[in-house]
Amino acid sequence: MATDQHHHDHDHGVEGPGYTTPQAAIERSQPEDIAYVIGLYVGTDVDAPDFIAVVDLDPDSETYQEIIERTEMPTRGDELHHFGWNACSSSCHIDGLERQHLVIPGNRSGRIHIVDTENRRHPELETVIEPDEVHEYDLSGPHTTHCIPDGKIMISMLGNAKGELPGGFLELNDDFEIDGRWELPGEINFNYDFWYQPRHNVMVSSEWAAPVTYQPGLDMADVEAGKYGSRLHFWNWEERTVEQTIDLGEEGLVPLEVRFLHSPESVHGYVNAALSSNIFHFWKDEGEYRTEKVIDFEGREHPAFEPLGMPAPATPTDILISMDDRYLFGSNWLHGEVWMYDISVPATPRKTDSISIGGYFGDIRTVQGRKLVAGPQMLQLSLDGERLYWTTSLYSTWDNQFFPEEAEKGSVMLKANVNPRKGTLDLDEEFLVDFGDLSAGPARAHEIRWPDGDCTSDVWQ
């Protein structure tokens, strides 16, 4: 129970003086002792700011599975969303740069928070970039944060200063000051997530919608009107221009998380098309990138979706790749499923296991007596690939639309034990972090980060 005491073989390259390879990261990893987890009060009856929770994950600790610290933001209504580090394996320890500061965007407010984690268990807010500073570059809706080489930080922005299209990318320097836009305006229209592979001089970005479209909630009329994206953009990393765009079509609606394999030599990756409920493989062949649908989740009939005129989509809202590039994990938010595929052959993923939990169709409806009022959503995997964690909040207005009880009961953080040798998932029924059991009131839980780098934020050169 949570309390808050305060507010196959892949070439992974070689190690150099400034970075660690994925395989070396696995070999050096220790069991995670804490996690940083986004906590949200947006869209609930609690009048309090969003926060970063420090969750104790040390089984030998007296406070195991508890929220031992909350670092609150100074303003209400931010809708903290995806966040990242000032440095990752592409830049860590270069010229003294350390993975110490969390860069935490407020997607709804446009505010960007810098949190110092020098004291790992007691993070402190260091500075805030206000929305007006961001609007000067005609950008809003900050989303994905990645460190990039030379100590800089890049954030995908989903809208212009008015919250409309087009989006773009904002660049910060190592003093957490805005350097300007990373790209030339006009390169893209929709924006969402991104990942880069420096050895191949490529970045890939995906598409959601403009903030004015997705922030009120999902309206299928907006989908039919073409207000949601369906394309992947492949960029020339050095020139910061789009070299190739691939439209995934009706089977690729709302492509969200893009993941290259961790090996810096790899040209393979995946993206989850959330609304179409498909997973696409992308790869480079004869100088061009190609895409193919490799996993398809069928819709299921449910009375709640009859007014929308459609079966309930599986809605794979998050994916990640194990650090050794062996497995692809994902979460089907509406159907209530966490799944695992062997991607030793990237073009032909092979399902190895899944857990049916929560959501509209999950077999497991309670953990430790706690009713699960939403499906699995944001994922994070231990560096050794043996523990998979997830939370249940997607976005406050979407939560309230599809899982309204979550605003009253709050989110949970759950865990499965993974056997990479057998390719199996087993729910740890002894593990539960209850974000509904906080002194200020029930909160939502979103993205998870490890202090020493993780599967969804580290990039290698």
Percent of the chain topping pLDDT 90: 86
Q: What is residue 449's DSSP assignment?
A: E
Q: Over pLDDT 70: what percentage of the chain?
A: 94
Model confidence at 180, in pLDDT bands (50, 70, 90)?
Answer: very high
- Banded pLDDT at 4 (limits 50, 70, 90): low
The answer to whether residue 7 scores a pLDDT higher than 90 is no
Q: For 420-454, where are the E strands, in sequence order?
A: 424-427, 433-434, 444-449
149 or 174: which leads in pLDDT: 174
pLDDT at 64: 98
pLDDT at 155 over 60: yes
Q: What is the pLDDT of residue 10?
A: 40
Domain ranges of the chain: 22-449
> Which two tokens mark 324?
């050794």
pLDDT at 458 over 70: yes
User: DSSP letters along 80-148, please?
Assistant: B---EES--TTTTTGGG--S-EEEEEBTTT--EEEEE-SSTTS-EEEEEE-HHHHHTTT-EEEEEEEEE
Who wins on pLDDT, 79 or 5? 79
Question: Smallest Cα–Cα separation from 104: which of 55, 43, 51?
Answer: 51
Q: How confident is the model at residue 309 (pLDDT cuts 50, 70, 90)?
A: confident
What are the two backbone dihedrals, phi and then psi, of residue 226, each rounded to the nearest 5 degrees?
Answer: 80, 25
* Other beta carbons less than 10 A from residue 156's beta carbon: 26
Q: Please give the pLDDT value at position 106.
A: 98
How confident is the model over 260-282, as a mean pLDDT? 97
Q: Is 24 exposed, middle or buried (0-12, 13-18, 19+ CB in 10 A)?
A: middle
Q: How far apart are CA 171 and CA 179, in angstroms?
A: 5
CB 56 within 8 A of CB 63: yes
Query: What pLDDT does residue 16 have?
Result: 46
- Residues 365 and 360: their CA atoms lie apart, in Å, by 10
pLDDT(13) > 80: no
307: Cβ contacts below 8 Å, ≥ 6 apart: none
Please compute the mean of the pLDDT values over residues 303-318 and round it to a whole number: 93
Give the pLDDT confidence of 203-258 residue by residue, as tens digits: 999 999 999 999 999 999 999 999 999 999 999 999 999 999 999 999 999 999 99
Q: Which residues contact 9 (CB under 8 A, 6 or more apart)?
A: none
Mean pLDDT of the chain: 93
Pick one of 2.130.10.10, 3.30.565.10, 3.40.1280.10, 2.40.40.20 as the CATH number of 22-449.
2.130.10.10
* Residue range 85-92: mean pLDDT, rounded: 77
